[in-house]
A and B are shown apart, each in its own frame.
Chain A
Amino acid sequence: MREITFIEAVREAQAEALIADDRVFIMGQEIGSYGGVFRATQDFVRRFGEHRVRDMPIAEQSMLGAGVGAAVMGMRPIVEVMFMDFVACGMDAIVNHAAKMRYMSGDQLRAPMVIRTQGGSGTHHGSQHSQTLESWFLHVPGLAVVVPSVPQDVKGLFKTSVELEHPVLFVEHRALYRTTGTVTDPVAPIPLGQGVVRRRGDDVTVAAVGKSVHQALAAALEMEEEGVSVEVIDLRTLVPMDVELVLESLSHTHRLVVAHEAVERGGWAGELVARVVAEGFDELDAPPLRAGSKATPIPFARELEAAMISDERLIARRIRESLDLAEYSA
């Protein structure tokens, strides 16, 4: 076991993929001699050459589109979209091309590519550099959506993602980049669609991914002082989504809060809640609640951001509401 940072895990995961498979190459802006704006490809040009670590012009459509074209010809591109907000610029390549190639072609073409990106609030980058947009991709059949929360999962999920015969959105929260965690050597591939219980508890289940998992754990600590026992589930991937694990947890907690930094309106929590209500209605003692961000763009000023973003305080509040509602309904 070693302790490494989240960004080191991202770097190791990519390097291991480049070493393991010569079909793998990386495209992105500033990823070459600069080493990536978050250092995700530091030293890669020296190790793997400019041919496989390809600096791109600022042109997301062609970057993602050329990734699709290379993937259908048998390559395994890793495409780094520097900020998640910028996926909007290359959305056509992801939604209309990558996601559909295999299906439309009757399985003659496949687009196995990993689209790596990072997003999230907390660094005061303003409205166009802070969004959490993974929910967009749940709505497009044909894409896997992976949102790791710890270094071990970064490596294990990346290994599976790079080998998957479908395109993958691999979403990182930049606030996690300097967090640390232990990793095994080597890290075994983690199947997509398998969540994990991060903390056992009896009263309320909180389901989350990425940074929100850490916030849910912080909220659980806070609730512990109030005598409330919170179970925290890290879904790890949103497509596929481990609804089974959530239902299993609800069979003893009977209360659910779904936490994400994405805007609550139209966010993926709604999908999970709908599934839980449809498949586990009898287990519920209270209405499932969401802890998402308010429906505004993300503002610059600290005080403004705090007023709209989903965080551990909001998660704790939703946990209390869930308990109150349960009491009320009982």
Chain B
Amino acid sequence: MKTMLIGKLTFPGGTHPPQRKDLTADSPIQPGPVVKKLAVMLSQHTGAPCRPTVKPGSIVQPGQLIGDSDAFISAPVHSPIDGRVKEVALQSHPVLGRSPAVIIEPNPNIPPKRPRPKSQDLFRDAAELLDKYSPEQICLAVRKAGIVGMGGAGFPTRVKIEPNPRLPKHTMIVNGCECEPYITCDYRIMLEWTEQIIAGIILAKKASGCERVFVAIEDNKPQAIEAVRVALKNWPDTGYIHLVPVKTKYPQGSERQLIKAVLNRNVPTGGIPPMIGVIVLNVATCAAIAEAVILSLPLTHRVLTVTGEAVAEPGNYYVTIGTPVGELIEFCGGVTQKSAKVVLGGPMMGIAVADLETPITKTTGAVTVLTKHQIGKAKFRGRQTPCIRCGRCLQACPEHLNPTKIAHAVKNNRLDIAQDYFLSACNECGCCSYVCPAKIELTGYIKTGKIFLARQKKKMPE
């Protein structure tokens, strides 16, 4: 194990939003709520949605497959509990709008239990155990467990780690940056599940054939850096794992910006990291890999942060995937005011939901409830003033784009101009909207432009 201290690694551009991680940073991972009704979305990942493999009325056991797909880029979903399938119905999905989900009601004959994280003793002495898994076994276990990138994008992990002769991988970066304000779930995982993460890293490294691994953690989490450092020291043969503290800056945890910071290389625009031989895995994903391979458990629970000034008891919880957001907020003492904004994810990239029945998915890292005051302040009482061309969005954009030009092109329905300014290269980090003094929804316009562009392409296949 080596700790790299080559100054402060970072990327050009970005912003420094207030952290507000103090709300939940010291709250240990606690069991989440007992669920009354679950809605397991059939599409919780990037790629083909699953088809349900159960029928209304079927009895399901914990970990039983309930949705799968034959597509390569996809991930199956499983039932987290003992229960009965009520129906397969449309539910509000944070990203996709109304989309199909398997609704499960708990079995009334089995006493309800609060979901508890696995004991860390299972992983503490796993070092020798790991040798017996072959890369193929690991990939298969990861696929079967339905693991997807848990940082937010939800790309199926099996596709990421499986060796691909056309795009050989040599470097793996483990993302423990957690640059979004408020969120602390990855931080708690790094503190409490350190061995599990390292086991997952070793397994993923073995499966992918990477030669070296970098564990990148933002320098505002010294305790997490220390925990990982100590754990790596105590773990045999981890010389290829380098611990790299990176500068605290938003969006440091974005895949492309992290690669720029750690390796000083740019991923080609419109390309993916394996094109330069790199894969990036979130720490929570690594923990899930360890669980899937060693314990053969599917991804049915995750750690998430319920936070924000409007929540009575913010904290980090081990939550059943499929729990409605509203139930989770109620479990955390409810909201402290009548008017608020419920955001799935952090305040920079999270999605504000209108339906409190929206279920938690594999990629939901946090539920942030913002106060009326914050909403008003962020939007300057709902008023956008004209762009004064101050250029702050250009300075802040980590992808070196011209957000104001793109946004104005989209606003005027000129996708051709927006494309000239590289509309598709935007990673939607939200820095431009964050710094805009005129309070223009630059990111919102750009996202809209991308949707229009996708529709246009669908209409005119070449």
A binds B: no
Chain A residues engaging chain B, CB cutoff 8 angstroms: none
Chain B residues engaging chain A, CB cutoff 8 angstroms: none
